[in-house]
A and B are shown apart, each in its own frame.
Chain A
Amino acid sequence: MTARVVITGIGIATPNGFGVEDYWAATRVGKSAIGRITRFDPTQYPARLAGEIRGFDARDHLPGRLIPQTDRMTQLALVATDSAFEDAGVKPGDIPEYEMGVVTASTAGGFEFGQNELQALWSRGSQHVSAYQSFAWFYAVNSGQISIRNGMRGHSAVVVSDQAGGLDAIAQARRQIRKGSKLICSGGVDASICPWGWVAQLANGRVSTSENTERAYLPFDADASGYVPGEGGALLILEDAEAARQRGAENVYGEIAGYGSTFDPRPGSGREPGLRRAIELALADADAEPSDIGVVFADAAGTPELDRVEAEALIEVFGAAGVPVTAPKTMTGRLYSGAAPVDVVTAVLAMREGLIPPTVNVSLSPEYDIDLVTAQPRTAHVRNALVVARGYGGFNSAMVVRGTDR
């Protein structure tokens, strides 16, 4: 029998909410946080809107020794992890250090830190580059810093598959728990709203250049013209369900019930994209039928071609308008590695309350025969949610999250 893996703690930091309560209060009513960039002057850039986390000062939350050696994305990840442990009612040290690990996803690494050090290098010379640049920019740094801060010396890793990585990391965490780890901290945070990070994001050609906060990110809308990037993410405490029960975990949010991932065929091959198969693999892994799924949290790329691929995959699996679909990420922008962990959190909170948060600002294009939850949240009794995430370059991942009977 394969161990069930459950979510027992959540830490979340997004543009529209810091902490579970704050995030859910904003998300359930469709409160958007997309606005003009304030972290640098975006005037000279073609895209000027983002989902920013405002008012976060790492010094309020973290030890002084960590501040000079961490990028913003790491600071957010460490603070979110602290909240997740507190939420789970586990203190580092309660569990043997080699039985706890960390698996995070990363899309960009620490761009803001890296930009500062590269500027120091070019303008003042190599002696002015911080020794901490050696790891502060690195994809794996969030896993490393979380591991060090919380004394977690078991299996640790990083997954780099853009936005799909958020699910790939959680799936890897589940595998490690099934292999015997007691607890894995997993999820992802990206935060690279700085000039260098910004031009890197613009390079994919998919970032919206609209200046209208309500018209810039419109997945599945006839006016879809790209996406708005955001910063933030979530870290989850995952445990073996039986071990969590034995230690008396009070807060079991839900179960990671199924996962599937595929890679797209080469562009121009004429073969079907891999998304449908990723969804079907996740359903099969969860031992679920399409009719068992009560809501889909869409990848919602926001570009017509990618929206079409996703709508077609959903229709293929669930039938025309066969399942409610939503994209709360329209409120925060796309968070890269942080997006799917946030969607997993949103899924368990939605199941808990019986409320599907809306896809804001979008009018569904008649081209897509899906049941998109727009404008208003929708009440629904949901037992299983599907989270879909795609990464630039052909990564497709899907995860079935099962609610907890309460």
Chain B
Amino acid sequence: MSQPEFTVEDLKRILVEGAGADEGVDLDSDILDTGFESLGYESLALLETAGRIEREFGITLDDEVFIDNPTPRELVAAVNAKLPGSVAA
């Protein structure tokens, strides 16, 4: 049985849909360890992004999820840990 997975591609798509993209940042470069702030997203953009992840993947994220996970790599791991079938879920 295939398990749903949250990838960095999902994250980039949702960021752009909800908050657009900064022309000075190339989201297709290696951004995994670049902080969201450096990618041009302020707290409201991240709030919007968290809401979109929650409703698309049917999960609830902690209010502090972007504070505890300030880079795409950490956030992807944190979201996947919430998905059904993950060890942590």
* B-binding residues in A (CB < 8 A): 63-69, 127-128, 130-132, 134
CA distance A131 to B49 in the complex (A): 9
Since A64-B22, A65-B22, A68-B20 are in contact, a sample of 9 more A-B pairs with Cβ atoms closer than 8 Å, ordered by chain A residue number, is: A63-B23, A64-B20, A65-B21, A67-B20, A69-B44, A130-B48, A131-B18, A131-B44, A131-B51
Given the interface contacts A63-B23, A131-B47, does A68 sit within 8 Å of B54 by beta carbon? no
List A contacts of B48 (CB < 8 A).
Answer: 68, 130-132
Q: Are A68 and B19 in contact (CB under 8 A)?
A: yes
Q: Number of contacts between A and B (CB, 8 Å)?
A: 39
Which residues 28-65 in B have Cβ within 8 Å of A in the complex?
A: 40, 44-45, 47-48, 51, 54-55
Chosen A-B contacts, 19 in total, with CB atoms closer than 8 Å, are A63-B22, A64-B20, A64-B21, A64-B23, A65-B20, A65-B21, A68-B17, A68-B18, A68-B19, A69-B19, A127-B51, A127-B54, A127-B55, A128-B55, A131-B45, A131-B48, A131-B51, A132-B44, A132-B48
CA distance A134 to B43 in the complex (A): 13
Q: How large is the interface on B (under 10, 10 to 19, 20 to 34, 35 or more residues)?
A: 10 to 19
CA distance A67 to B22 in the complex (A): 11
CA distance A241 to B24 in the complex (A): 37
CA distance A127 to B51 in the complex (A): 6
Q: Which of B19, B51, B55 contacts A65 (CB 8 A)?
A: B19
CA distance A66 to B22 in the complex (A): 9
List A contacts of B17 (CB < 8 A).
Answer: 68
CA distance A64 to B17 in the complex (A): 10
Given the interface contacts A68-B18, A127-B55, A128-B55, does A134 sit within 8 Å of B44 by beta carbon? yes
Q: Which residue of A lies closest to B43 (CB)?
A: A131
List B contacts of A66 (CB < 8 A).
Answer: 20
CA distance A270 to B78 in the complex (A): 70
Chain B, residues 68-86, CB within 8 Å of chain A (1/0): the string is 0000000000000000000
CA distance A195 to B54 in the complex (A): 30
CA distance A63 to B20 in the complex (A): 8
CA distance A263 to B17 in the complex (A): 46
CA distance A128 to B47 in the complex (A): 12
Closest Cβ of chain B to A76, distance in Å, is 18
CA distance A325 to B17 in the complex (A): 50
Closest Cβ of chain B to A10, distance in Å, is 27
List B contacts of A127 (CB < 8 A).
Answer: 51, 54-55
Closest Cβ of chain A to B55, distance in Å, is 5
Q: Are A130 and B20 in contact (CB under 8 A)?
A: no
Q: Are B18 and A130 in contact (CB under 8 A)?
A: yes
List B contacts of A63 (CB < 8 A).
Answer: 20, 22-23
Closest Cβ of chain B to A61, distance in Å, is 12
CA distance A151 to B45 in the complex (A): 20
Q: Which residue of B lies closest to A134 (CB)?
A: B44
Closest Cβ of chain A to B59, distance in Å, is 11
Q: Which 8 A-B pairs have the closest CB atoms?
A: A131-B48, A64-B20, A65-B20, A131-B47, A127-B55, A64-B21, A68-B20, A131-B44
Closest Cβ of chain B to A64, distance in Å, is 4
CA distance A134 to B47 in the complex (A): 12
CA distance A45 to B40 in the complex (A): 42
Closest Cβ of chain B to A117, distance in Å, is 12
List A contacts of B51 (CB < 8 A).
Answer: 127, 131
Q: Are B44 and A65 in contact (CB under 8 A)?
A: no
Given the interface contacts A127-B55, A128-B55, A130-B18, does A65 sit within 8 Å of B40 by beta carbon? yes
CA distance A4 to B45 in the complex (A): 42
List A contacts of B21 (CB < 8 A).
Answer: 64-65
List A contacts of B19 (CB < 8 A).
Answer: 65, 68-69
CA distance A65 to B48 in the complex (A): 13
Chain B, residues 1-34, CB within 8 Å of chain A (1/0): the string is 0000000000000001111111100000000000
Q: Which residue of B lies closest to A124 (CB)?
A: B55
CA distance A66 to B45 in the complex (A): 11
